[in-house]
Amino acid sequence: MDEIEYVWSVLGGDAALTTRVARAARPEVLEARLPVRALASACVGACALAAAELAARRAAPGGVPAVRVDDGAVAAAFTSERHLRIGGREPVSFAPLSRLWRTADGWVRTHANYPHHRARLLAALGLARDTEDARAVDAVGSLLAGLPARSVEETVYAAGGAAVALRTPEEWAASEQGRAVAGRPLVERGVLDASPARTFAPVPPSAGALLPAAGLRVLDLTRVIAGPVATRTLALLGADVLRVDPPGLPELPDQHVDTGFGKRSATLDLTCDQAAFEELLGAADVVVTGYRPGSLARFGLSPRALAARRPGLVVARLSAWGAYGPWAGRRGFDSLVQVGTGIAALEGTADRPGALPAQALDHGTGYLLAAGVLRALTEQSRHGGSRYVEVALARTAAWLSAGPAPDGASGAGRPHGVGGSSTMGTGSGAHRVCAAGDAGGPGDAGDAGGPGASPWLRERESPLGRLRYALPPVRFEGGPTDWERAPGPWGADAARWV
């Protein structure tokens, strides 16, 4: 089975529509031992097909528009944070304490980009939070060198930080969380109630582009990369996307710019502004959440609770490790999931863990989530029902490790949906070995997302200065090719719908 056919089947799509997708393969981009390029193109292709399907449902009388997936555009988008320039300035990369560390018995990966995670990491190790970065790196390195990796993992997580011990694919597959992840589909979907079918108003082309999500309101409760990539994609397709963050927890500035195209950004304190949130919810069509499972439950933000208050809603939920198993409540980021699920071991050497050529788990999962939302909207228009879509970085990691078929190879018999397999793609065999602070993320390869990235970059003015950025890879005939709105300052917009 071709990878896009597999993803499309997981999304519940009509298999016949996959003939509408054409791919321009570029073997020189996203090289890795694992078939990252195949995964990335499949996620983007399925998302573009879901957009084209919804466009046909609403405003394309000639049938589902043709979809084109170009590996070059996909590679640029999957490394968008590296291409970003703000007034000519390169974005800030990973923080000094976000890195791989050698331990007494292996390796551990920490994530301390956010100030509160940095403070918790230092506190867990008995260090003062105001320790200067260079001294902190030396002190943390000395401490961790004498400790077992999994002991560090447990200690840091217990303190509210984020650290994961390196595991092989076999160790992950044998773990309780690995088994829980392996038992779940790549994208989980379902119906929450029997609310009436969604009625769409016809949407004429706007500024020459067909916008299948025009008129829809998306409440964006996500952070970091995967969730914001999903909502950035919905904004591209015409949705009114309002990102809402707690006022005391600002997003990293450069990360906000990279994933903020097409959206508005507001702050809202749910502990004292519940009425304001309920007003937003009452007019929303889609709610996307990216916080840890259970962390929003106290505010009544579970899928069923949201749908009960807003029948006909689509609720999309993203997590790092999945909303199940002993790690359901743990924080996680792409770099940590690569280390925990065995990907870093597969991509490394006997001497040092490696990394994927992009934060492919984040970006791929983001496009999967957007595709799930688009398909849910199409199905609502036919069958009704409030609906939910759930994805997890660890589930995408399991799919990648099981092995989307590399270019030119048959996908027949591949263990789709089987987590922890040590099966590798057979591509070029190229891989990347992590340097001390490397995470497979921003700054890994300077200005490169692969050869020939420049055709997929554009510049424009914004409230934050002149931006250079990667163009969206989701393309279909008659559809948009860029976002109408440039990102603005974090939290600068009113918490209300346009």
- Measured over the CA atoms of residue 425, residue 427, residue 430 and residue 436, the dihedral's sign is negative
Task: Please state, in angstroms and rounded to a whole number, the distance separating the CA atoms of residues 292 and 31.
Answer: 31
Task: Please state, in angstroms and rounded to a whole number, the distance separating the CA atoms of residues 109 and 339.
Answer: 7
- Of the candidates 334, 362, 438, 444, the residue annotated as catalytic is 362
Helix pair angle (149-158, 115-124), 10° resolution: 120
Task: Please state, in angstroms and rounded to a whole number, the distance separating the CA atoms of residues 225 and 366.
Answer: 8
- Measured over the CA atoms of residue 325, residue 331, residue 334 and residue 336, the dihedral's sign is negative
Task: Please state, in angstroms and rounded to a whole number, the distance separating the CA atoms of residues 322 and 395.
Answer: 7
Q: Is 362 an active-site residue?
A: yes
Task: Please state, in angstroms and rounded to a whole number, the distance separating the CA atoms of residues 209 and 236.
Answer: 11
Please state the three-class secondary structure of the chain as a single string.
CCHHHHHHHHCCCCHHHHHHEEEECCCCCCCCCCCHHHHHHHHHHHHHHHHHHHHHHHCCCCCCCCEEEEHHHHHHHHCHHHHCEECCECCCCCCCCCCEEECCCCEEEECCCCHHHHHHHHHHCCCCCCCCHHHHHHHHHHHHCCCCHHHHHHHHHHCCCCEEECCCHHHHHHCHHHHHHHCCCCCEEEECCCCCCCCCCCCCCECCECCCCCCCEEEEECCCCHHHHHHHHHHHCCCEEEEEECCCCCCCHHHHHHHCCCEEEEECCCCCCHHHHHHHHHCCCEEEECCCCCCCHHHCCCHHHHHHHCCCCEEEEEECCCCCCCCCCCCCCHHHHHHHCCHHHHHCCCCCCEECCCCHHHHHHHHHHHHHHHHHHHHHHHHCCCEEEEEEHHHHHHHHHHCCCCCCCCCCCCCCCCCCCCCCCCCCCCCEECCCCCCCCCCCCCCCCCCCCHHHEEEECCCCCCEEEECCCCCECCCCCCCCCCCCCCCCCCCCCC
Would you state the structure tokens that stand for residue 215, as one six-digit string? 């008129």
Helix pair angle (360-383, 226-236), 10° resolution: 50
Catalytic site positions: 362
